Structure 1
């Protein structure tokens, strides 16, 4: 999201009203009566913003201002939201208004300073930080940031004074120590040993800044580390990571190449070069870099790759074996039968990693590499790629990186997502199955950690899931999910969450094969949310295992199937259908409550989804989405939210079309 639901003129109007209201000092009776309601709306807005549901958060903040035009928390929240979506000028307007309405707010002045600092408005940032420091003396972050703004203006001695004040209060405050070292280095006051010390500190802080998604400062830290110690290997590699995350690909390539000059056996540098070449659609270079990196970090892969040199090349493309159709009844609905594994005498692998693929080549190599990096032999893991009749076939691309290890099949005709998933599960032999989208990837330790937990778990556990992060096309983390926090173990109440909405993503989930054999596969009617429906089915009959670490990345991008299904309205139709299906098998004592909560949740969720076809000019898809939303929930509360949304600027085309259709209706005599 990089735009807001309200126009620039509306922003200015709301700010003028807020300032005038505050200056008048008057509170009308209705406004005083709304205090409790406003507090509840604000709490919900903050939660939505924390969950990255920014459209919903913005609408809620505006509702607050409509009731209390000079509410400082709503003004502040809108300022932080605007900054979050990359609208610094709008953020400045909201935060400045908040500072006028509540001039004794430290967080508002500090946030204004940070905003101006990010825009390199150093003198203005200094003013905001000094105002914050008056309100909250001896604040470590304010001391450090004020010192940095002074340093950027060439005021080194005053900057050093503030860094030292911060370190007097907290001697291990790394940000201030790094800033102090950099200021002393700029003045030529560091010895060789001190330069090494501060280079390592800069590198350490850069890693922390990148983890906090502050790429600009991460890059600055790593460059400063290199300036202090030009042959610091880790700084060059970490600089490459930060530059790559920010999309500065050529600079990242240079950093990785410098890393390999310092250490030719740095396998991770090759793997990251492979990701960049893949992003640049230079698949030949990507394959070469990936192979070199995998050989260096995984001896099992190196051995298997050497063995493939003796294999005979063949152009024959294996066809996916399709099993006889059968059904399993759960509740009132029937699901495709998943046949048990035929006994061959061979030991079954613990893992079956099934990667469905169709047409896209953008991310498939990266997905395969993430699995191959953890592959430790065929007795431990089988890897299947199920190509859903891509044209041209993906056979050569898969073989280029996984020949002799990855089993490739191509469907005889396009089976769509649900058919391909069922075909992959049916052809698997592992005890546990991991369905991994071709545009997602696992992080190091995914299979190792899960196996350690699942090997001894009871049969009551039918599936497991890990923490995960959503990333966008440039690998920026946009969302993080750790449903049970740091808890690790069996969870028996997942149905209370997954029954209402889907908190999981397929790449973070593994399912026991016998679970599929008992409950069936993916419902053939669902073009979307088929994963959510099966999670509800499993949670109704089984416990789940939860592994808290972030061990997988789920990619959200413009070419994803979700975007395509949202444009047509199919996603919302599948959500509605999934609610109807699960209503037939949910436990009797929970069914009514869970279903009602689910309808309410997805009404709000899918209302935001309507903006996808609207922004694409796809009015038919927007209308279908709206129709399906009204089938999900028609309660008075939901209809009120619909009418509020229809008043927003983004809904104008849909609102106009509704009015036109009403006017065009024939009149009854």
Structure 2
């Protein structure tokens, strides 16, 4: 990610203006009139920052400073933003400016202390914390953090004093109690039982820090727990997890291997080692670790895998059915045939994994499903290889022999063809389409089945909470659309009709829903899932399962990135809006469609930056064309022209000018 849109010189200039403006104490009439607008921009900036849209948040904060150079909230916001992006020197500049403008802000001084603490500038952090404590005496976090900075400087007695002050105010303050134990341990003042107690506390605090994505402190806590109790298995395991998520893979391997010396049958450790070897592109070691882990955690897998010989037979081609269609509204969709009657009991689940050219991610996706497999009577697993070269058969067979059915398309059918082929060849009551680069979390199938077994026939599909992760497994987005309110959702058409808040791996669909409404539209190269969700919502209810049960991976090799570069993604969004307009209920259609066009105009305008940054000017130009087909209202045109005025849009402006000057002039007619 490009982490900043402003130069260092501009940062210094803005900070200087902010300090001078505050010292002058002057306010002009224009600034007073801008108060409402500034408040609105600040609110939007905070929301963008909360949603991890860091570049957008930064630009909004800068807009505020251009109107009010000494606005303390914008200065503080930019400081926190810079720290979030790892730009510590810039963060120091912004927060120092905020402290000049608003010297009585506890938040600013406390944040300055935290910033310096992260950089191990302990004496400077101490000064900031002491200033915050003057402004807000008896503050638990300040007592704790000040104590920690003193402890890091070797001032143990003073540190212990501050921890004890915090615990007098809140006896169950785990951070202060843990730090107190560590300080006492450093002074040699703990008994054996006390060491065990503080080891557990360190481990517990490490888990909490990891959950807050503070991996550095999580690692410190787990290492301290091991120092206090070397045979604490939980601490070794959690240390390995924290190191793994921090990208310290060799250290994580060492931590896991130490744990296996303590407990050779710790199945989850082998699965985590498999992920590391996969990330290192060592697929042979990854397969071996995954096999061992699955055997230890899943007795159903161990039994079938041991009884099945490695199959060297010829690869099965995907059975492709005759192309029949079903009409919904004014459009036709591929017919999904009903399941033929046999003596075999149909499984509850069909998990369909379309796969193409991503052997590393496919392993993890498969393992996440097989770990929850409890027999063919309960779940069938299909991998549909979309003509990968070389075929993915050996990889699938190495992990899933005896369990996974592997098919290979005779030619590349792309996403829509592969999805339809997978659904058509499934036999389960409920179908789960899982991307080959995503994976399910423990409990996905069990929790959904508990809810769906008893739900009414009006429910045609269901979805769970999910998280987006990047290539290094960092969580970059979390979605729990209806909070913790499990059950049938109401007014979902007004949500899904406007925009798509779902990701396919978090969605399961009843097979009879496909049979009635058809499969995925063959014309759409992107957003084909969204169009189907709108079709389903027009005729069926949806069930919502609130837990986070899926990880959706966002990475540079994803199909979305490829389609965004060419402009195909925006074209599919536009086409999806046109298709659903033909079948949405008449009383809601016009309103939903208009909202959808407005929403995607703004969203797709931001997408132009993807081909622009890649130097794909033709793709950016096509995106502009498709955006205008989505919404060409005067308001939309005004936003487009304003966007084109930005510096980063210069290459696209040049392309538009070039194409305009290339138009033939003989279409112009002179009049007198």
Question: Normalising TM by the smaller chain, what interval?
Answer: over 0.9
Structure 2 equivalent of residue 403 of structure 1: 401
CA distance in 2, matches of 1:630, 1:151: 60
Per-residue CA shift, 1:339-396, capped at 9, x if unaligned? 1111112111000000000011121111000000000000000000000011110011
Structure 2 equivalent of residue 205 of structure 1: 205
3-state secondary structure, aligned to 2:359: coil
Judge conservation of contact 2:3–2:54 (CA < 8 Å) in 1: no
Structure 2 equivalent of residue 293 of structure 1: 293
Structure 1 equivalent of residue 324 of structure 2: 326
Q: 1:159 to 1:574 in 2, by over 3 A?
A: same
Judge conservation of contact 1:2–1:85 (CA < 8 Å) in 2: no
Q: 1:635 to 1:22 in 2, by over 3 A?
A: farther
Structure 2 equivalent of residue 77 of structure 1: 77
Structure 2 equivalent of residue 5 of structure 1: 5
Structure 2 equivalent of residue 258 of structure 1: 258
Distance apart, 1:604 and its partner CA: 2.4
Per-residue CA shift, 1:507-527, capped at 9, x if unaligned? 110000111111111111111
1:6-405 mapped onto 2 (5 Å cutoff): 6-309=6-309, 313-405=311-403
Judge conservation of contact 1:5–1:649 (CA < 8 Å) in 2: no
Distance apart, 1:660 and its partner CA: 5.3
Distance apart, 1:606 and its partner CA: 1.9
Distance apart, 1:666 and its partner CA: 7.5
Distance apart, 1:305 and its partner CA: 0.7
Question: Which of 484, 503, 506 is 1:505 aligned to?
Answer: 503
Q: 1:601 to 1:492 in 2, by over 3 A?
A: same
Per-residue CA shift, 1:111-163, capped at 9, x if unaligned? 22212211112222222222222222211111111111111112211111111
Greater mean alpha carbon deviation, residues 552-561 or residues 45-54: 45-54
Distance apart, 1:611 and its partner CA: 1.8
Distance apart, 1:647 and its partner CA: 4.2
3-state secondary structure, aligned to 1:80: helix
Judge conservation of contact 1:5–1:648 (CA < 8 Å) in 2: no
CA distance in 2, matches of 1:591, 1:90: 49
Judge conservation of contact 1:41–1:64 (CA < 8 Å) in 2: yes
Runs (4+) off by over 6 Å: 663-669
CA distance in 2, matches of 1:126, 1:387: 59
CA distance in 1, matches of 2:642, 2:165: 51
Structure 1 equivalent of residue 434 of structure 2: 436
Q: 1:299 to 1:114 in 2, by over 3 A?
A: same
Judge conservation of contact 2:19–2:101 (CA < 8 Å) in 1: yes
CA distance in 1, matches of 2:63, 2:629: 26
Distance apart, 1:85 and its partner CA: 2.3
Question: Which of 554, 558, 561 is 1:560 aligned to?
Answer: 558
CA distance in 2, matches of 1:609, 1:410: 33
3-state secondary structure, aligned to 1:362: helix
Judge conservation of contact 1:2–1:86 (CA < 8 Å) in 2: no
Judge conservation of contact 1:143–1:163 (CA < 8 Å) in 2: yes
Structure 1, unaligned runs of 5 or more: none
1:582 matched to 2:580? The reply is yes
3-state secondary structure, aligned to 2:542: strand
Distance apart, 1:23 and its partner CA: 2.0
CA RMSD of aligned residues (A): 1.7
1:540-559 mapped onto 2 (5 Å cutoff): 540-559=538-557
Greater mean alpha carbon deviation, residues 516-525 or residues 449-458: 516-525
CA distance in 1, matches of 2:658, 2:96: 41
Per-residue CA shift, 1:584-622, capped at 9, x if unaligned? 222222222222222222222222222222222222222
Distance apart, 1:652 and its partner CA: 3.6
Judge conservation of contact 2:621–2:655 (CA < 8 Å) in 1: no
Distance apart, 1:259 and its partner CA: 0.7
Q: 1:647 to 1:9 in 2, by over 3 A?
A: farther
Q: 1:635 to 1:39 in 2, by over 3 A?
A: farther
Judge conservation of contact 2:621–2:656 (CA < 8 Å) in 1: no
CA distance in 1, matches of 2:114, 2:633: 43
Distance apart, 1:628 and its partner CA: 1.8
Distance apart, 1:2 and its partner CA: 4.0
3-state secondary structure, aligned to 2:360: coil
3-state secondary structure, aligned to 1:42: helix
Structure 2 equivalent of residue 495 of structure 1: 493
TM-score (norm 2): 0.96
Structure 1 equivalent of residue 522 of structure 2: 524
Greater mean alpha carbon deviation, residues 5-14 or residues 210-219: 5-14
Per-residue CA shift, 1:153-212, capped at 9, x if unaligned? 122111111111111111111011111111111111111111111111101111111111
Structure 1 equivalent of residue 468 of structure 2: 470
Aligned length: 667
Greater mean alpha carbon deviation, residues 388-397 or residues 605-614: 605-614
TM-score (norm 1): 0.97
Structure 2, unaligned runs of 5 or more: none
Q: 1:500 to 1:99 in 2, by over 3 A?
A: farther
3-state secondary structure, aligned to 1:546: strand
Judge conservation of contact 2:166–2:173 (CA < 8 Å) in 1: yes
Greater mean alpha carbon deviation, residues 637-646 or residues 444-453: 637-646
3-state secondary structure, aligned to 2:522: coil
